[in-house]
Amino acid sequence: MPAHNSRESASANADGGETFAQVVRDLRHSVNETQEVFAKRFHKVRTYITNTERGDLHAEEFAEDLMREFPEQKDRIAAAYDLSIKRHSRRLAQQRETPFKRRVEKYLQTGRFAYAERALRRGLVDATDAREIHWMYDHLHVATSALGKDEAAMEALHAAVACAVNAGLEAEEITSRERLATRYQVPARFQEAHEILDAGLVRHPHAAELWLRNGKVYWYEQDYSAAYAALTTALKEGTSRTSVLHARGQVLAEWGSFDAAVEDINAYLEITKATSADLSSARSARAYAWGQLGDLPRAVAEFDALEARSSTGAWQHYRRALCYVTHDMKKPAIKYLKRALERDGPPLNPPRREHAERLLADFGVQPPYDSS
C-alpha cells in the first residue's frame, strides 16, 4: 500500500485537506481496481462508488469499511470523511439560505403558486450556475403543476433534465427523469415515459431509481414480463427491498403468477409491519391472488377487513370484482366494477378503466353507472 505522501498535498483543497471522494478514488487506484470490482469488494453497487467519488454521497458505514480494509490509512480516511461532511453541510446551508430560495419556498408552502412561478421565471433569465438553474426548473415544475398547467410543468422537467445532462449533474438528472416519467405514466403516455427512462439508463445503467420507475411504467401498461425484469434489476442495483416487493408482488398477481405474488407480498408485509396506503394496496393484491388461486372466502374476508378499516379505493374494488368474475358471480362483480369506476384513491389508470368498462358491457351494463 503506497504511503500517504505528496499526493495528499497535491490534492489538498482550500479547506486544508483531502475530500472523502479524493481518498476513495486514490484507494481504488492504489489496488488497480475498476469501480465495479471495488464496489463488489464492499458489497455496494457501482453507482454507490460513482456518487462517492463525485462527492455526492457520504456514508459513515462505508468509511468504516474502508478503514478496516486499509488500516494503515485509517487516520487519512477519517480526516477526509470529516472534512467532506463539513464542506457538504456548508454547501447545503448556503443553498438553502439564499433569500431568493427562501422566498420561493415560502410561496410554495403558502399556496401562492403564481407568485412562485413569476419569481422563478424572472430568476431563470439571469441565472448562470447549473445547480441553481436546475433547482429553479425543478421548483417551477412544482408551481406550474399546482396551478394546473400540465404542459408547462412537463416543459420545466424537460428543461431540468437537459440542464442536468449538460452540466454533468448525475443525481439531479436521475431525479428529474424519474419525476418526468411519472408524469407521463399517470395519463398512460407510456412510450414517452420509457423514452425518458431509457435515455437515462443508457447514460447511467446502474441507476436503481430509473429501473424501479421503468418497472412501474411497464406494470401500468400491463407488460408484466418487462415489469418483472425491470423491478428485479432495480433490486439488484440497490433499490430498497420493500419498494421492489410491493410493486413486484402486484405485478406477479396481475401476470397470473399467484403463488409467487403471495410470496412477495407476504415478505413485504412482514418487513413493513405498518399501516399505510401501500399496505392496503399490497393486501388487496394478495387477496386478489388468493381469489384467483380458488380461495374466494379468504379473499373476500381480506377485502372486507380492508373496507372496514379505511376508505376503499378504486383498485381494491377492481381487484375484488375480478375475483367475482373468475368465480362466475355476476351480481357482485357488477357491483364492484361500478364502484371501481366511481372511486379514486387513486383512480384506475386508463387500461384498467377500459377493462372494467369492457367487462360491464359484456354483462350488458352500459353507462352511466349506478353502484347503489
Per-domain residue ranges for the chain?
6-96, 240-310, 312-372
359-367 average pLDDT score? 92
Range list of β-strands (E), 184-338: none
CA within 13 Å, CB half, 261: 24
Per the CB < 8 A criterion, the answer to whether 309 and 284 are in contact is no
Please tell me which residue, 294 or 280, carries the higher pLDDT value.
294
Per the CB < 8 A criterion, the answer to whether 52 and 22 are in contact is no
239-249 average pLDDT score? 89
Per the CB < 8 A criterion, the answer to whether 201 and 210 are in contact is yes
Work out the pLDDT band at 323, boundaries 50, 70, 90: very high
Task: Give percent of the chain above pLDDT 90.
Answer: 57
Distance CA 219, CA 293 (A): 21
Against a cut of 0.75, is the pTM above it? no
Can you give the pLDDT at residue 96? Answer: 57
Mind listing the pLDDT tens digit for each residue in 118-127?
999 999 999 9
Work out the pLDDT band at 11, boundaries 50, 70, 90: very low
User: Residue 8: is its pLDDT beyond 90?
Assistant: no
Distance CA 264, CA 256 (A): 14
Return the CATH number of 240-310, one of 3.30.70, 1.25.40, 2.120.10, 1.10.287. Answer: 1.25.40
User: Residue 269: is its pLDDT beyond 80?
Assistant: yes
Q: Hey, what's the cell of 14? A: 482550500
> Exposed/middle/buried for 370, CB within 10 Å: 0-12, 13-18, 19+?
exposed
Work out the pLDDT band at 224, boundaries 50, 70, 90: very high
